[in-house]
Structure 1
Amino acid sequence: MLKKGSKLYSILTGTCPKCQNESMYIDQNPLHLSKVLKMHDHCSHCGLKYMIEPSFFYGAMYVSYGLNVAIGIAAFIVSFAIFDLGMKGSFLVIFASLIVLMPFVLRLSRNIYINMFVSYEGNVPK
């Protein structure tokens, strides 16, 4: 399922969508909050420029919105329907889950967005 060459591999690992040989991010750990969105300018293996055009990743905000809505709905269903916490408790669970998952959602939304525009091409030399 997570074979090199698939979009899902690139999205979940944060690797270059064109060659999938190296990470797009300077710091691989998304929990280092000061560096969560710091990216290399280009892939050192295939030369893909990650910032395809100025302000390219502003579009990732729409992807992030969708991911956050999905997380909020899932947190509500789990807290309200399964654990029977009530409305206030469910709201706190939604809020806490969105805060805790924020760095992962930020990176995942960028990974999804760039993979919408760049396809895998294998081991492409510079």
Structure 2
Amino acid sequence: MLKKGSKLYSILTGTCPKCQNESMYLDKNPLHLNKILKMHENCSHCGLHYQIEPSFFYGAMYVSYGLNVAIGVAAFIISFLFIGSSLKIAFIVIIASLLISFPFVLRWARNIYINMFVSYDPKNKLK
């Protein structure tokens, strides 16, 4: 399921979507908040330029919105319908889950967005 060559591998690991040999980020840990969005300019293995066009990752905001809505709805359903908490507690759970998932959603949104435009190429080598 999570093997090299799949989009899911690139999305979850944050590796280059074209060769999947190198992390796109300077710091692999998303919990270092001051470096969370710092990226390499190019992949050192295949040469892919990550910023495909100026302001490329602004589109990732829409992906981030969708991910946050999904997390919020899931948190509400689990807390309100399954656990049976009050409406007030359910909304507190939503806010807490969004705050906890914030650094991961930022990276996943960028990873998903770039993987929508760049496909894996096992034959790609540095030019």
TM-score (norm 2): 0.97
Amino acid at match of 1:61: M
Paired position in structure 2 for 1:8: 8
Read off the aligned partner of 1:80 and give its amino acid letter. Answer: F
Paired amino acid for 1:15 = T
Do residues 18 (structure 1) and 18 (structure 2) align?
A: yes
The CA distance in 2 between the partners of 1:123 and 1:78, in whole Å, is 44
Which amino acid is the alignment partner of residue 2 of structure 2?
L
Match of 1:119 in 2: 119
Partner of 2:66: 66
What runs of 5+ residues in structure 1 fail to find an aligned partner? none
Separation in 2 of the partners of 1:64 and 1:89?
Answer: 24
State the shift of 1:82 in Å: 1.4
Whichever residue aligns with residue 56 of structure 1, its letter is: F
**RMSD between superposed Cα atoms in Å:** 0.7
| SS state at 1:116 partner | helix
The Cα shift of 1:85 comes to 1.2
Deviation of 1:123 (Å):
4.3
Matching of residue 32 in structure 1 with residue 32 in structure 2: yes
1:75 Cα deviation from its structure 2 partner = 0.1
Normalised by the length of structure 1, the TM-score is 0.98
Deviation sequence 1:6-53 (CA, Å, 0-9, x none)? 111101110000000010000000000001111000100000000000
Number of residue pairs the alignment of both structures matches: 126
Specify the code of the residue in structure 1 equivalent to 2:52: I
Structure 1 runs (4+) deviating above 2 angstroms are: none
The superposition leaves residues 72-111 of structure 1 with CA deviations (integer Å, 9 ceiling, x where unpaired) of 0000011101111111100000001001100000000000
Quote the Cα distance in structure 2 between the aligned partners of 1:113 and 1:8.
12
Q: What is the identity, as a one-letter code, of the residue corresponding to 2:24?
A: M
How far the C-alpha of 1:124 sits from its partner, in A, is 1.6
